[in-house]
């Protein structure tokens, strides 16, 4: 009579399947630990900085953080938009405080980051949300092959998605280190998987994901209680350039903001915060490389022909 044990071939396969399912589900079952970062120091309350907060996901994250007790610094490059968001935040959360930080994320001079660090030096900063990103290209001509981009378009895309957050971390980690426990939340894109026709954008997002992994390891080496969490987003509606009705795989920006904050403390450095989109990605993992490439090409060509956006939004200002 044959007995099932984990060490037989069927047993190994079953154990691998069970482990994969548990590993997939677990981050969505763990309660958020965002409250760890809502602490005061020397009588100063906790603040969060959200880059790219004038619209879309950044704006939604600002409202969510305020609703959970944080004062919020909202960053962008458009003063009029930021002032409007600040008024809306103050009206919705009269007991919270809000500040505006104006800086163009495509202009990455060293003095810019020294100035940002100086302007935030008087607050107890415990949460940094790197949300500013996207493609600084007109929506009428969003999808291009590499040789169709101008040098400025490539440079601005890399600055916005890679250089700006890198330099911002460099400037603000000393402040976060004095405010531990602290959180660095990095909003990435599923375009980092190598989608064609948005190569500079996707590649710079891939850099950001790798940098997040490295930074998380550095925090362990240096024994600093700073959590680093990279979240990969697919298409989101209710953002600049996308106003279609929400669907199972395309949530509204407000829903995505809640899901992002819900993954804090999930036990991973890199996670897809909205589980239906994680399911989509999991489906492509099992495909042969040539099939996955064929699917990516088909999807991106269809998006180009329909004039739709491949990521969370065209640009977060």
Q: Which residue has the tokens 């020397």?
A: 42
Question: What distance in Å separates the CA atoms of residue 142 and residue 155, rounded to the nearest whole number?
Answer: 15
- CA angle 184/213/111 to nearest 5° reads 55
How far apart (Å, rounded) are the C-alpha atoms in residues 63 and 286? 38
Q: Residue 241: its pLDDT value, please?
A: 66
| 253-262 vs 56-67: helix crossing angle, rounded to 10 | 50
Helices 164-177 + 110-119 axis angle, to 10? 30
The residues annotated with a catalytic role in the active site are 201
Q: What is the rounded end-to-end Cα distance, in angstroms, of the chain?
A: 67
Predicted confidence at residue 294, as pLDDT, reads 81
Question: In the prediction, which pLDDT does 134 show?
Answer: 83
**Alpha-carbon span 56 to 189, nearest angstrom:** 14
Confidence at residue 1, expressed as pLDDT on a 0 to 100 scale = 46
Instruction: Give the pLDDT of the chain (317 residues) as one tens digit per residue.
Output: 455 555 676 766 676 666 667 777 899 999 999 999 999 999 999 999 999 999 999 999 999 999 999 999 999 999 999 999 999 999 999 999 999 999 999 988 889 999 999 999 999 999 999 999 887 665 556 788 899 889 999 999 999 999 999 999 999 999 999 999 999 999 999 888 788 888 999 999 999 999 999 999 999 999 999 999 999 998 899 887 667 889 999 999 999 999 999 999 999 999 999 999 998 887 676 667 777 778 778 877 787 777 655 444 444 44
Residue 166 to residues 84, 163, 171, 282, 316: CA-CA distances in angstroms?
Answer: 28, 5, 9, 29, 17
Query: 232: which residues sit within 8 A by CB, 6+ positions away?
Result: 188, 189, 190, 192, 209, 270, 271, 272, 273, 281
Omega before 72 cis (within 30°)?
Answer: no
Tell me which residue of 87, 112, 217 sits closest to 170, measured CA to CA.
112
| pLDDT of res. 289 | 77
Sheet holding 71-76, edge to edge: 98-102, 71-76, 46-50, 124-130, 182-189, 226-233, 270-271
């Amino acid at each position: 009579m044959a007995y099932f044990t984990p060490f037989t071939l069927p047993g190994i396969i079953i154990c691998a399947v069970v482990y994969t399912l548990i590993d997939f589900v677990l981050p969505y079952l763990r309660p958020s630990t965002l409250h760890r970062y809502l602490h005061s120091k020397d009588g100063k309350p906790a603040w969060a900085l959200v880059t790219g907060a004038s619209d879309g996901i950044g704006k939604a994250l600002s409202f969510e953080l305020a609703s959970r007790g944080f004062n919020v610094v909202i960053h962008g490059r458009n003063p009029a938009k930021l002032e409007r968001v600040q008024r809306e935040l103050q009206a919705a959360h009269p007991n919270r405080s809000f500040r505006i930080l104006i800086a163009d994320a495509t202009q990455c001079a060293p003095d810019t980051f020294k100035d940002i660090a100086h302007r935030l030096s008087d607050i107890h900063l415990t949460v940094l949300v790197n949300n500013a990103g996207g493609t600084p290209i007109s929506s009428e001509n969003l999808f291009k092959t590499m040789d169709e981009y101008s040098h400025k378009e490539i440079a601005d895309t890399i600055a916005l998605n890679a250089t700006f957050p890198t330099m911002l971390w460099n400037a603000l980690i000393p402040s976060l280190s004095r405010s531990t426990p602290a959180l660095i939340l990095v909003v990435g894109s599923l375009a980092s998987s190598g989608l064609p026709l948005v190569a500079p954008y996707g590649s710079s997002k891939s850099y950001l994901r790798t940098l997040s992994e490295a930074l998380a390891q550095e925090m362990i080496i240096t024994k600093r209680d700073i959590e680093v969490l990279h979240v990969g987003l697919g298409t989101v509606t209710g953002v600049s350039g996308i106003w279609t009705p929400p669907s199972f795989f395309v949530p509204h920006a407000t829903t995505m903001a809640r899901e992002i904050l819900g993954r804090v403390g999930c036990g991973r450095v890199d996670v897809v915060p909205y589980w239906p989109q994680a399911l989509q990605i999991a489906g492509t993992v099992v495909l042969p490389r040539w099939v996955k490439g064929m699917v990516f090409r088909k999807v991106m060509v269809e998006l180009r022909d329909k004039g739709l956006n491949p990521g969370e939004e065209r640009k977060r200002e």
